[in-house]
Amino acid sequence: ARSGAAMGEPLKYRTDFDKHVVTCNFERRGWERWDPRYDDDWHVFWASVSTIKQIFAPENGIRLGDHQIVNHFPNHYELTRKDLMVKNITRWRKACEKEAALEANGAGQSNGNFNNTGMSATELLPKLDFVPATFSLPSDYSLFVEEFRRRPDRTWIMKPVGKAQGKGIFLINKLTQIKKWSNGYAAKDPARWKSAEERRAENEKTESYIVSRYVQDPLLIGGKKFDLRVYVVVTSYRPLRAFTSRLGFARFCSVSYSEAKADMDNPFVHLTNVAIQKRGDDYNESHGNKWPIHLLRLYIAGTRGEAVADELFRGINEAIIYSLKSVQNVIINDRRCFELYGYDLLIDERLKPWLIEVNASPSLTCTTEADGRLKDRVIRDTLAVAVPPGKLEATAGGVSTTTAMSRLSRGGRSNSVGVAGDAYEKEWARTGGVPESV
């Protein structure tokens, strides 16, 4: 096997994920597609999570060479599977609570630097409340019932742990609705409640779900609910080396928000997933119900003040970095791996950010021309930090290394390593994407 590309020899890329924004970035860097008929080896593999599972399965006997790199860590699911994300963050928070109790008695053991965060556990603990109360079903059903009965006025959201794009999600406000779900009860909405026979056929009866407290007071813009998609690249967990992109966006619902019981089953009111919203009559194809995160920040600063906007985005960075810290000692840290995460966060009316989930394969489907340019830039920046010049080849071939990625420090603050382009923001403004029209 080769140890890397020789001077002037192009890298070979491999992918089972043929999205234009990925392959065009490879070829723009002068890389060539790996062909098993003619090429002995490959250097960069942009693979699906199922392929990664096969690569790292011990029984398959596959070993990556030092000159190869793939786009997922072996057990990335510790952060990207909904139930495991909550489990790991909860475990880390409990460790912090235990250390804070010791500190209160003068017996702390972290010397004011709990888990290398630069803070004592007492200082850190209030910052770890960024995930809504969540329970795994069916295993935590009794605990959930106890919590539900403490606050019967709350609405909860049910999600299958292994699905994406809004599939299988629904809201509940009564315990009987969970019983209907568990029994495969056929209710008035056949798309949500299926017969027991259908559930068995689809093997959904035993599928694990999580149930989370629904954020009932989301920040609204133009009367509509939205969430944030933030791109984060991790090139190492030990030491933790992470970058956050300034090229994220807000995803809006197409129908005005309502807490009315009659609207509980309306996905166009409650679910921001583009895969859901684009099926609605009010979906805006010109901007895809999306708004650049830079303009969202300007809106917050203009309506709430610059200091408030700074605090909000500081909280978003902290939620990201502390979620990564929670799995730092759990993820298998293979130096031949990197990860592009799609973080989904919700902002409530008090401008508190809530981490909803982390995606291992954020959608690279381009809904608009501007969306395509944004995602092209995200992949370009991802490769610039994950496969920098000289990592696998002797020359970079003149590829630009200016990125819109900012390095996350251990305290959740960002240190700029590049300058953000504004082409996407200009395009958004040109197509009329203002809050009132989203």
What's the whole-number mean pLDDT along residues 398-414? 51
What is the identity of the amino acid at 272?
T
**Long-range Cβ contact pairs of 356-360 (< 8 A, separation 24 or more):** 356/132, 356/227, 357/80, 357/82, 357/85, 358/79, 358/80, 358/85, 358/323, 359/80, 359/164, 360/49, 360/72, 360/76, 360/77, 360/79, 360/80
Return the higher-pLDDT residue of 406 and 348: 348
> Can you give the pLDDT at residue 353?
97
Q: Beta partners for 228?
A: 250, 345
Least confident of 163-167, 210-214, 216-220, 344-348: 163-167
H or E element: which one contains 181?
helix 175-182
Q: In the chain, count of helices (H) and strands (E)? A: 14, 17
> Can you give the pLDDT at residue 312?
97
Do the bridges between strand 240-245 and strand 249-252 make them parallel or antiparallel, or are there none, so unpaired?
A: unpaired
How many Å apart are CA 274 and CA 296, to the nearest integer?
18
What's the whole-number mean pLDDT along residues 198-212? 65
Chain-wide mean pLDDT for the chain? 82
Cα dist from 235 to 68, 70, 232, whole Å: 14, 11, 10
Strand 209-213: give its sheet, edge to edge: 134-137, 209-213, 156-160, 170-172
Least confident of 58-67, 102-111, 263-272, 392-401: 392-401
Tokens of 434: 């203002």
> Can you give the pLDDT at residue 206?
55
How many Å apart are CA 180 and CA 173, to the nearest integer?
13
Least confident of 28-42, 60-74, 88-102, 181-195: 181-195
> Can you give the pLDDT at residue 403?
58
H or E element: which one contains 25?
helix 20-28
Is residue 87 over pLDDT 80? Answer: yes
Least confident of 133-137, 281-285, 309-313, 401-405: 401-405
Return the higher-pLDDT residue of 385 and 390: 385
> Can you give the pLDDT at residue 117?
87
Question: pLDDT grade, residue 405 (50/70/90)?
Answer: low
> Can you give the pLDDT at residue 409?
53
> Can you give the pLDDT at residue 407?
64
Helix (H, G, I), strand (E, B) or coil at 203: coil
Cα dist from 20 to 40, 259, 375, whole Å: 25, 40, 10
List helix spans (H) across 105-153: 121-124, 141-150
Least confident of 185-194, 223-232, 403-412: 185-194
How many Å apart are CA 8 and CA 3, to the nearest integer?
14
Residues of the chain above pLDDT 70, percent: 81
**Phi/psi at 382 (5° precision):** -60, -45
What's the whole-number mean pLDDT along residues 105-119? 85
Return the higher-pLDDT residue of 181 and 240: 240
What's the whole-number mean pLDDT along residues 202-221? 82
> Can you give the pLDDT at residue 36?
83
Q: Beta partners for 237?
A: 240
> How large is the greatest C-alpha to C-alpha distance in the chain, in angstroms?
67
Return the higher-pLDDT residue of 392 and 73: 73
Tokens of 130: 């960024």
Is residue 151 over pLDDT 60? Answer: yes
What's the whole-number mean pLDDT along residues 260-284? 85
Task: Pick from 108-122, 156-170, 315-329 the range whose average pLDDT is largest.
Answer: 315-329
> Can you give the pLDDT at residue 316?
96
> Can you give the pLDDT at residue 397?
39
What's the whole-number mean pLDDT along residues 301-308? 96
């099926």: which residue's tokens? 279
Judged on CB neighbours under 10 Å (0-12, 13-18, 19+), 49 is: middle
């859901």: which residue's tokens? 276
Residues of the chain above pLDDT 90, percent: 57
